[in-house]
Amino acid sequence: MSQPAHIFQTQANAAPPSSWAQRALPRASRPPAPVPAKAFLPRGARLHELDPHLHCSIIGTCLSTTALRKLVPKFCDLVRAKASDLDIHHMAVQLATEGGDGARALHKLLDTVYAPEIKRFRRYQSEAEVEAAWAGCLKHGDVPGAYWALMTHPAATPGLRQHAFGEVHMLSHLVGAANRADIRRLLALEEENTTLKDKVDRQQQRLRDLGAAQAALARQERSRPAETSADERVRALETTLKNNEMALQASEQASAHHAGRLEKAEARLKEAEDWASTLEAALIEAHRQINAQQQELDAVETHLADTFAPQAEAGAAPTPLKGKRIVYVGGRPQAANTIRALVEAAGGELLLHDGGIEDRRGMLTTTLAGADLVVFPVDCISHNSVALLKRGCERFNIPYRPLRSSGVASFAALVAEMACPENARAQCGAASRICLHHG
């Protein structure tokens, strides 16, 4: 997991929110804008009305740390000079989740920064048109503004928002990993190029100084008394001319040497740019493969659901869950029902709590009493629910385990880990300061 206020903001707090994507993908001509529709579109979603698990991604991707540091302390008790970037990010996510004046201020800031993108996306009326426009912007590197415009578009469905969230999440990993080495090489080449240019400038200045000295000597010779012999003046001028010629020859050799080094540096810079283009193509291919792997994972989960549910009725049960009372917080209803069937078939008991969407959040602490293990998927649970959950586990001394995703496959991997003697103990650690959605 990553954190664009850190992925998408590690990249320099003073840079614009979109700088990470624009460095990773070259800008190109935008797709042609559709003909403006005359039909009336309803109001788009507000920031606090979106699914809370999207807030971290939206704030980290679309707002810079500099902008957040100016805005967030106005609505909380953080001290701007002492608060870390992570504290600012966490508080911004909390303000967006809670609603109120802070959420409205964040929403207004996003609308102001990305007004052109919002206006362009509002021309699209159907989900398919919005998705096509998002794909074009993602291809050309125009991610932050298009991401916010999609999230608040009236035609955007929860599925489309989740799809865009996944693409931005993976893009943050791949762009950072693929370009860090190239950026270092480019910076080194630029520094070497600057050094060589400085040396050439110094050589040219030295030549100008020699010319000025020769002119001054000539003036001095002309101003000598008339009794000075012509032969002495000629010899002095010949000596000066010879010295100047030697200095000029040495300067020309040095300039030729530095020019050769500069040419090599430019060639290396061209190679680095070509390599960056190759990495960009590899990034696009990797992104395509990730989408394919996600589809394969969905197919595996469907297969597990179809395979293990009948086994649950037959009484076949994996031994690590026998007699265990497990509390599962968050997740998706379909996957949670399949997991319940697996646990009950194994002789265990599974209690479900959605983290506060429909179930009361105040009942979460009561649900933890008597549990042997608490699990929660980090991709489908809110920040506040995780904080409450960890405090409850520490209070009752109950081990808890985060799952990579809300799918059945992640829970099956946990069961396999529990089956190994060296991984059998699941201990409750201290509450992490890492962003649960982006690392």
Is residue 176 assigned to a domain? Answer: no
pLDDT at position 359: 64
- What order do you get walking across the sheet with 349-353 strand by strand? 349-353, 325-329, 373-377, 400-403
In Å, what is the CA distance from 368 to each residue of 23, 34, 338, 347?
Answer: 47, 53, 21, 19
Is residue 433 assigned to a domain? Answer: no
Contact call for residues 422 and 394 (beta carbons, < 8 A):
no
Is residue 146 assigned to a domain? Answer: yes
Report the domain count for the chain: 3
Is residue 319 assigned to a domain? Answer: yes
Sequence-distant (≥ 6) Cβ neighbours of residue 292 within 8 angstroms: none
22 and 121 inside one domain: yes
DSSP-derived letter for residue 168 is: H
By three-state DSSP, how is residue 35 classified? coil
Contact call for residues 96 and 106 (beta carbons, < 8 A):
yes
CATH code for the domain in which residue 330 is found: 3.40.50.11370
By three-state DSSP, how is residue 37 classified? coil
Is residue 204 assigned to a domain? Answer: yes
Per-residue pLDDT of the chain (439 residues; tens, 9 = 90+): 333 433 333 333 333 333 333 333 333 333 433 434 333 446 788 888 888 988 898 988 899 888 889 888 989 888 888 889 898 899 889 988 988 898 899 899 999 999 999 888 988 989 899 889 899 988 888 889 888 988 989 988 999 889 889 988 887 776 655 555 566 677 778 888 888 988 999 999 999 999 999 898 888 877 766 555 677 878 888 899 999 999 999 989 998 999 999 999 999 999 999 999 999 999 998 887 787 667 557 656 665 555 555 554 545 544 678 888 888 888 888 888 888 888 888 888 888 887 767 666 667 777 777 788 898 888 888 888 888 888 888 888 889 889 888 888 888 888 877 776 565 454 444 434 434 344 3
346 and 261 inside one domain: no
61 and 140 inside one domain: yes
pLDDT at position 35: 37
Q: How far apart are CA 397 and CA 378, in angstroms?
A: 21
332 and 253 inside one domain: no
Query: For 416, how many CA atoms within 13 A lie in the half-sphere containing its CB?
Result: 7
Q: How far apart are CA 302 and CA 304, in angstroms?
A: 5
216 and 355 inside one domain: no
> Which residues partner with 326 through β-bridges?
350, 373
145 and 16 inside one domain: yes
11 and 122 inside one domain: yes
151 and 26 inside one domain: yes
Sequence-distant (≥ 6) Cβ neighbours of residue 117 within 8 angstroms: 137, 142, 145, 146, 148, 149
Query: For 4, how many CA atoms within 13 A lie in the half-sphere containing its CB?
Result: 32
Task: Note every long-range contact of 71-80, with CB atoms under 8 Å and residues 24 or more positions apart, other chains counting.
Answer: 71/105, 71/106, 71/109, 72/102, 74/105, 75/100, 75/101, 75/102, 75/105, 76/102
What one-character-per-residue DSSP string does 246-259 give?
A: HHHHHHHHHHHHHH
Backbone φ, ψ for residue 351 (5° rounding) = -105, 130
DSSP-derived letter for residue 74 is: G
Is residue 173 assigned to a domain? Answer: no
Is residue 31 assigned to a domain? Answer: yes
149 and 223 inside one domain: no
Backbone φ, ψ for residue 325 (5° rounding) = -110, 110
CB environment 253-262: b (16+ within 10 A), e (fewer): eeeeebeebb
By three-state DSSP, how is residue 263 classified? helix
31 and 136 inside one domain: yes
Q: How many CB atoms lie within 10 A of CB 252?
A: 12
pLDDT at position 331: 80
pLDDT at position 358: 66
Which domain, by its residues, includes 383?
A: 315-423
Is residue 174 assigned to a domain? Answer: no
**In this structure, what token pair is assigned to residue 214?**
């020769």
pLDDT at position 15: 36
131 and 205 inside one domain: no
Of residues 19, 288, 28, 1, the one with CA closest to residue 179: 19
Q: How far apart are CA 439 and CA 311, in angstroms?
A: 36
Contact call for residues 114 and 124 (beta carbons, < 8 A):
no
CATH code for the domain in which residue 244 is found: 1.10.287
Q: Is the pTM of this model over 0.85?
A: no
Of residues 395, 394, 373, the one with CA closest to residue 329: 373
